[in-house]
Amino acid sequence: MPHHEVVKLEDVRVQYNGVPVLEDINLSVLQDDFLGIIGPNGGGKTTLLRVILGLIEPSRGKVTVLGKPPAQSRNKIGYVPQHNLFDRSFPINVWDVVLMGRYGKTGLFKRYGSNDKRATKDALQTVGMLDYKDRQVGNLSGGELQRVLIARALVAEPRLLLLDEPTASVDPAMQTEFYELLEKLKQRMAIMLVSHDISAVSIYVDTIACLNRQLHYHGSKELTPEILEATYKCPVQMIAHGTIPHRVLKEHPAND
């Protein structure tokens, strides 16, 4: 395996109760990749991330992360789940949420040491949230909480960062700042970002894959209308916004 290959999936298939969720997935992610994965709800995007995390065992195929089975490399993966899965009513402050991300380094029942606290401070500084360290997470905006969850993922010093619909609950005005933060982070790690937001993803990521049970991936940002229509099962058109092309779904009947 090339030393710079972070993730490799070969002919991966996942089934739930005999129903295929992922079919014949082949994917290679390198250490300096910023890959966006787009596709409709129910297309298998979250399942793909869980396969890479080693939380779901494929019914067929091979998965390696940093040259090992995913479960053995999990402490090298930062994972930010979908925003709405985080319990904002839990009485905990920003510092402790991020410090918990060091659990994989400290092990069970071990105290957090000076290295853990230094890493927590660095992670909060990276995402611009150090001044909020004593704030209760329930009092944060959507964008602020998303930054904290990224800091929790970064504190483990990952080689791979997985983001599942990271801007779903983030104010549109904050999304640009969020993607600019990822631009900085990609210098340090590979990033895989799952989203249904074609337009935003197409601007910021380096390469795009389309996933709807099957993966359409050619190692570039170029998405043909044919690929998008095969993925979304509805017509797609290209529109221009400034100098950057956007692809959006055409108007089509709701029952299509």
Find the DSSP H helices in the chain.
Answer: 45-53, 94-99, 103-106, 114-126, 142-154, 172-185, 198-204, 225-232
Q: Is residue 158 part of a domain?
A: yes
Give a yes or no: residue 20 inside a domain.
Answer: yes
- Report how far residue 218's alpha carbon sits from residue 202's, in angstroms, rounded to the nearest whole number: 14
Query: pLDDT tens digits for the chain (256 residues)?
Result: 444 899 999 999 999 888 999 999 999 999 889 999 988 888 899 999 999 999 999 999 999 999 999 999 998 999 998 765 667 778 899 999 999 998 766 555 567 888 999 999 999 999 999 999 999 998 998 888 888 999 999 998 999 999 998 877 777 777 888 888 888 898 899 999 998 777 767 778 888 888 989 998 776 666 666 666 666 655 444 433 334 444 444 444 444 4
Residue 254 covered by a domain? no
Residue span of the structural domain in which 28 resides: 5-249
Q: With respect to residue 16, please indicate whether it lies within any of the assigned structural domains.
A: yes
Query: Among 178, 166, 171, which Cα is nearest to 142's?
Result: 171
In a domain, 237, yes or no: yes
Rounded CA separation 9/25 (Å): 7
Whether 255 is in a domain gets the answer: no
Degrees (nearest 5) of the Cα angle 89, 107, 153? 50
- Residue 256, domain member (yes or no): no
Cα–Cα dist 177/175, whole Å: 5
* Tokens coding 88: 């904002």
Please count the structural domains in the chain: 1
CATH code for position 26 = 3.40.50.300
Q: Which residues contact 152 (CB under 8 A, 6 or more apart)?
A: 80, 97, 98, 100, 101, 123
Q: What's residue 225's pLDDT?
A: 61
pTM for the whole structure: 0.82
Residue 78, both tokens:
């930062």
Nearest to 41 by CA among 164, 223, 196: 196
- How far is residue 205's CA from residue 43's CA, in Å, rounded to a whole number? 20
pLDDT reported for residue 243? 40
